[in-house]
Structure 1
């Protein structure tokens, strides 16, 4: 049996936490569930991370990094309308094939809102910083046009909401998501 290094074990905790937090949110997920998914004890989990918040923030950061990498790869070597279509297609594919990523995004926004109400701004600062990096990743391939970027991100959030609510792909609410003209700005 090959032993994992602490860094490999840490990576497995982040991936497990992404799945668990996507399902149960920050408040509904126990560190026990994360430890069990990874196959480690809770005390070992807390040797890798100082607490539940640190685990959640690492999972949130990874979710954003994965999405940024997906957009970067999709837009590599293209810009403008071609980048918009490539990034939009990549995002729709990820949302349909990796629902945990979408659900973790939604859980991140909820955790920020709840924490902010309690006066805890650490969640918000970390998630907003990631979101700004995501914005910038999309913004440049779209010609650094704020309206193009805003429209792209707005359609992405609409996709998130429709998928999270379970609307099937053939439902009428999706009708406006398919571009009618080549210059539409939708993900």
Structure 2
């Protein structure tokens, strides 16, 4: 049996945490569930991360980083309308193929709102910084146009909401997002 390094084990914890937090949220997920998914003890988990919030932040940062990488890869060498369509198609594939990414994003937003309401602004600052990196990743290929970037990100949030509510491909609610879907009967992929 090959033993994992601390970095490899940490990576395993982040992946497991994304899955668990995506399903149960910050408050509904126990560190015990994360440790069990990874196959480590809770004390070992806390040798890798100081507390549950640190685990959630690492999972949150990874989720945003993965989305940034999807945007960056899709838009590589493209600009304007071509970049917009490539990033939108890549994001649509990401949330269809890895529903945990979508659920984790939504859990991040809910957790930040709850932390802010409770007066914990540090947590939100970290997540907002990651989200701004996501914004910038989309902003540059869209020609640095504030309106285009705002529209792109707004459509993305609408897609998140509709997908989270379970609207299936082909439902009429997608027609405004994917005009050619009307003819095909489903969102473009």
What is the SS of the residue equivalent to 2:119? coil
Matched, 1:117 2:144: no
Match of 2:136?
A: 136
- In structure 2, stretches of 5+ residues that fail to align are 181-189
Match of 1:7?
A: 7
Q: Matched residues in 1 for 2:148 and 2:160: separation?
A: 18
Q: Per-residue CA shift, 1:60-88, capped at 9, x if unaligned?
A: 00001100011100000111111001100
Shift in Å, 1:145: 0.3
Give 4+ residue runs of structure 1 displaced > 4 Å after superposition: none
Q: Matched residues in 2 for 1:14 and 1:178: separation?
A: 34
Q: Per-residue CA shift, 1:119-177, capped at 9, x if unaligned?
A: 11122111100110000000000000000000000000000000000111111111101
Match of 1:57?
A: 57
Q: Matched residues in 2 for 1:18 and 1:126: separation?
A: 17
Q: TM-score, normalised by structure 2?
A: 0.94
Q: TM-score, normalised by structure 1?
A: 0.95
What is the SS of the residue equivalent to 2:26? coil
Matched, 1:73 2:89: no
Matches within 5 A, 1:95-174: 95-174=95-174
Q: Matched residues in 2 for 1:42 and 1:100: separation?
A: 23
Q: Matched residues in 2 for 1:63 and 1:76: separation?
A: 20
Which one has more relative contact order, counting CA pairs under 8 Å at least 6 apart? 1
What is the SS of the residue equivalent to 1:176? coil
Q: Matched residues in 1 for 2:14 and 2:22: separation?
A: 12
- What is the number of equivalent residue pairs in this alignment? 181
Matches within 5 A, 1:7-46: 7-46=7-46
The CA RMSD measured in Å over matched residues stands at: 1.1
- In structure 1, stretches of 5+ residues that fail to align are 181-187
